[in-house]
């Protein structure tokens, strides 16, 4: 069995940047998980002394790192008012839809955000609207059809959404409303990893996707992979790998979500290699 990595996988620019910021911020805490990967968060705690506060009330340090997905405007305000020193690790690709929503809502546009309303990034982006009553989060065309929007609409997307789905949303809006401003805020890193996983899943007979199970972009990679290779598995750590998955297989493809560290991917590949050798004996 051969093991092959996807052409593009793993850490994106925004996560690399956030980790570097955290590594240089000893003694700080991140408000919310810096990135969606429990093992990397553990490493930052152990090696760099960067803690995690899940609630605002848990923050005891002066320095607070804002996670890659950003936070809500009111949380930011609260931290500033409480004398915290903010270290902003928000990915610039997340800051962009925040700014668009603020500007376009200020200009009187109804806002549509294509994404998951419970995702921290979307909650953050939504909070920047100057007109919350005219700001809507939708996850499907069906949800969109139920909305009664005014004539002028601006639409943005959660950075990790699929381009094809965003196009469907944009198309429906354009068909129905007079003035529609479409801002493609989907991040290229996600797109590149998605294209690469599709190419690899088509040729592989088993696929391992490495990443946090709470990471939206890792889950999306897994779903794409599953579509083209039915034996696709999503794992967070090497202990989850099962030798049965690899029996009788010729090509094992490996990809990883945008917040999966390189050391973890290497560990997984080593373990697959070991399983392969055991299976061959
Ligand atoms: Fe930023 Fe894109 Fe990564 S939004 S955090 S560069 S997946």
Q: What is the pLDDT of residues 86-96, one digit of tens each?
A: 999 999 999 99
Please pick, among 23, 40, 55, 121, the residue that the annotation labels catalytic. 121
Q: 207 pairs with which residues across the strands?
A: 232, 253
**Active-site annotation holds for 60:** no
What's the CA-to-centroid distance between 1 and ligand 1, angstroms?
33
Cα of 112 vs centre of ligand 1, distance in Å, is 20
157 touches ligand 1 (CB under 6 Å): no
Share of the chain above pLDDT 90, in %: 86
| pLDDT tens, residue by residue, 47-59 | 999 999 999 999 9
pLDDT single digits (tens) 211-224: 988 888 899 999 99
Helix axes 13-23, 38-48, angle to 10 degrees: 30
* pLDDT at site 132: 97
**What is the secondary structure of 195-232 as a DSSP string?**
HHHHHHHHH-SEEEEES-TT-HHHHHHHHHHHHH-SSE
Supply the pLDDT for residue 12: 86
- Testing ligand 1's pocket by substitution, the residue of 12, 97, 124, 125 carrying the most ligand atoms inside 8 A of its CB is 12
Residue 38 confidence (pLDDT): 83
Overall average pLDDT of the 35-45 stretch: 87
Shortest CA distance to 239 belongs to which of 266, 259, 220, 267?
A: 267
DSSP symbol at 29: E
Which of 9, 14, 162 most suits a substitution to test ligand 1, by most atoms within 8 Å of the C-beta? 14
Q: Write out the two tokens for 114.
A: 């294509």
DSSP state of 90: -
* H/E segment holding residue 88: strand 85-88
């Amino acid at each position: 069995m051969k093991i092959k990595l996807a052409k593009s996988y793993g850490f994106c620019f925004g996560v690399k940047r956030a980790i570097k910021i955290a590594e240089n911020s000893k003694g700080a805490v991140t408000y919310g998980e810096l990135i969606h990967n429990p093992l990397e968060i553990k490493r930052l705690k152990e090696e760099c002394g960067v803690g995690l506060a899940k609630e605002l009330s848990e923050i005891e340090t002066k320095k607070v790192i804002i996670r890659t997905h950003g936070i809500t405007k009111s949380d930011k305000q609260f931290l500033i008012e409480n004398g915290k020193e903010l270290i902003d690790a928000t990915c610039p690709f997340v800051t962009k839809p925040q700014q668009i929503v603020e500007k376009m809502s200020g200009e009187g546009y109804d806002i549509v955000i294509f994404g998951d309303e419970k995702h921290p990034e979307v909650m953050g982006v939504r909070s920047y609207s100057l007109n919350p009553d005219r700001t809507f989060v939708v996850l499907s065309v069906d949800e969109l059809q139920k909305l009664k929007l005014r004539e002028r609409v601006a639409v943005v997307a959660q950075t990790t959404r699929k381009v094809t789905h965003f196009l469907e949303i944009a198309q429906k809006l354009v068909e129905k409303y007079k003035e529609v401003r479409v801002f493609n805020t989907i991040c290229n890193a996600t797109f590149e990893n998605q294209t690469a996983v599709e190419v690899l899943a088509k040729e592989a007979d088993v696929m391992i996707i490495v990443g946090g199970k709470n990471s939206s972009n890792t889950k999306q990679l897994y779903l794409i992979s599953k579509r083209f290779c039915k034996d696709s598995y999503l794992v967070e750590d090497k202990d989850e790998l099962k030798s049965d998955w690899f029996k009788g297989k010729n090509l094992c493809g490996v990809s990883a979500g945008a917040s999966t560290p390189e050391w973890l991917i290497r560990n997984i590949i080593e373990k697959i290699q070991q399983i392969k050798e055991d299976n061959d004996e």
